[in-house]
A and B are shown apart, each in its own frame.
Chain A
Amino acid sequence: MRQQLVQIFVVLIVVAAILLGLELGVRAGYLKAYEFPPASRIAEGFVELATVGFPTGVTIWSHILITVERILKGYTAAILLAVPFGLLIGAVPVLDKMTAPLIVFFRSVATLSLLPLVIVWFGAGELTKVILIGYGCFWVMLSNVVASVKYVDPVLIRAARSFKANGWALYREVVLPAALPRMFAGARIALGVGFMVIVGAEMIGTIQGLGALIMEARSFYRSEITVIGMLVIGILGFAISTGLATLEHMLLPWGRSLDRVQR
């Protein structure tokens, strides 16, 4: 708890220092306001976004809602697909050998480079955005689930075998629980990928969503709004990631959280 407070405090100080620096820089005439928007402009922009909206009629709240909805749809679909496939591949060495190069290949293809093709296939609507987010999350999650099963501490498996656990029972009673922490870590990394992809995924065919907000602001030279979009994405990512960590500590009370207690 104390550690978390310290973390938040450090983040706040860094952000405050940057904002103060910009404000002073612009007021003193060293920086141009449209290149480095000062805090006062950002605050004004935020009020405008919260009330009138940008573009007019679309408030920051609906941008956030739309973005979160898209990320969660793509992310959830990716997790739901990656977990069973990963568990299977990780448990069957032949499958792992066959799929390993494919997984590395598909994971390495930058998600946004697929944009033109996905638009051709699925149009420029909602589905395309969700698919792009899902694609990015899926491969990261998949490779983590495979690794979580593959790299279970062999001494645990030997211990279980010494008590005559084997086959499905060994997998269910030992491999699965031992793999959970790494699967949770993978889920958090995948979420990060989802947030990275969102701006690109919302570049086309929409005026709603934080990515669209950022692109729209760019074409009107409203850099303070770009910054707001950026900040909101950062805060959202932080909040959801913290939520996942809390969930992990609740579901796996024997895991890392206890390390901290020990120290």
Chain B
Amino acid sequence: MKRVEASTTPAGTTGLNADRDSGGRMAMIDIRRVEKRFSARDGTETTVLHDINLSIAPNEFVCIVGRSGCGKTTLLNILAGLDKASGGEVRIAGERVEGPGQGQGVVFQQHALFPWLTALENVAFGARSLPIGKPEKIERARELLQLVGLEASAGQYPREMSGGMQQRVAIARALALDPEILLMDEPFGALDELTRIEMQQELLRIWDARKKTVVFITHSISEALMLADRVVLLAPHPGRVARDIHVDLERPRSRTDRGFNVLYEQIWGGLST
């Protein structure tokens, strides 16, 4: 699948050359020498992430795979601007990440919808920081619910919805600011297998329609292979990049495809060593 490369280059950005990958195009997300350490109460320090370097191109779909405790979620929180790195830096379109709302939309592990708001209100909350009036926000939320196929459930509360529907609303909410980047932290981990496959197809459809850069965390190898252009393996203690594997499979992909299984074995091997 061929996709159009982003042609916008922010002028006057410092370190412009460093932000370009070998192909000479601007990286959407540039992660440089990122470290994360936590100090425990007894004064000992744990290194959760060590020397993470990744450059992610515009519209690229990257899955980060690793065992529990390898710092996947911490890395995502740093990309989201919700957590600060202890060292190194993250740049989005050349701009250093200082906090949330610099073009990142986040979908969390548990849907993290506000239980007191309806589906529509939850999505409209996503647009809260936009300088537009309330009717426009509602209108925008309605369009996004339509995009995820839930316009009929606009008035329902999260508790009245199934797990799959909840995650759809969460995706719509994350898209409310029309972010360049979608950060997803094991969004389908709690769903049953069938719903999960449906949601993967749904996500690919949305990604195709809206052209986002996606960083998707999962510990399912087959999920990563169904979705990603690129699979990054994180190794634990301390969390570091172990492998960076390009997935050159045609979409739509099939789990029974030979190439799929070759890559599956390769990733499985990378994870078990």
Which residues in A have some Cβ–Cβ distance to B below 8 Å? Answer: 155-156, 158-165, 173-174, 177-178, 180, 252-255, 258-259, 261-262
Contacts and interface: CB of A to CB of B under 8 A. Distances in A.
A254 B159 contact: yes
Given A155-B108, A262-B159, A161 B116 contact: no
A159 B160 contact: no
13 contacts: A156-B114, A158-B82, A158-B106, A159-B114, A160-B114, A163-B100, A163-B101, A164-B99, A165-B128, A165-B129, A173-B128, A174-B114, A252-B116
Contacts of B158: 254
Contacts, number: 71
B157 interface: yes
Contact of A163 (B110, B117, B177): B177
A161 B108 CA distance: 12
B125 interface: yes
Contacts of A177: 114, 116
SS of B interface (majority): loop
A178 B116 contact: yes
A155 B96 CA distance: 24
Nearest to A176: B116
A162 B106 contact: yes
A163 B157 contact: no
Contacts of B108: 155, 158-159
A258 B101 contact: no
Of A156, A163, A164, A254, most buried by chain B (CB within 10 Å of CB) is A163
Nearest to A255: B115
Contacts of B106: 158-159, 162
B112 interface: yes
A156 B100 contact: no
| Interface hub of B82, B108, B159 (most chain A Cβ within 10 A) | B159
A93 to B, nearest CB: 16
A258 B114 CA distance: 14
A156 B108 CA distance: 10
B128 A162 contact: no
B100 A162 contact: yes
Contacts of A173: 125, 128
B126 A163 contact: yes
Given A177-B114, A254-B116, A255-B115, A161 B160 contact: no
B82 A161 contact: yes
A165 B112 CA distance: 15
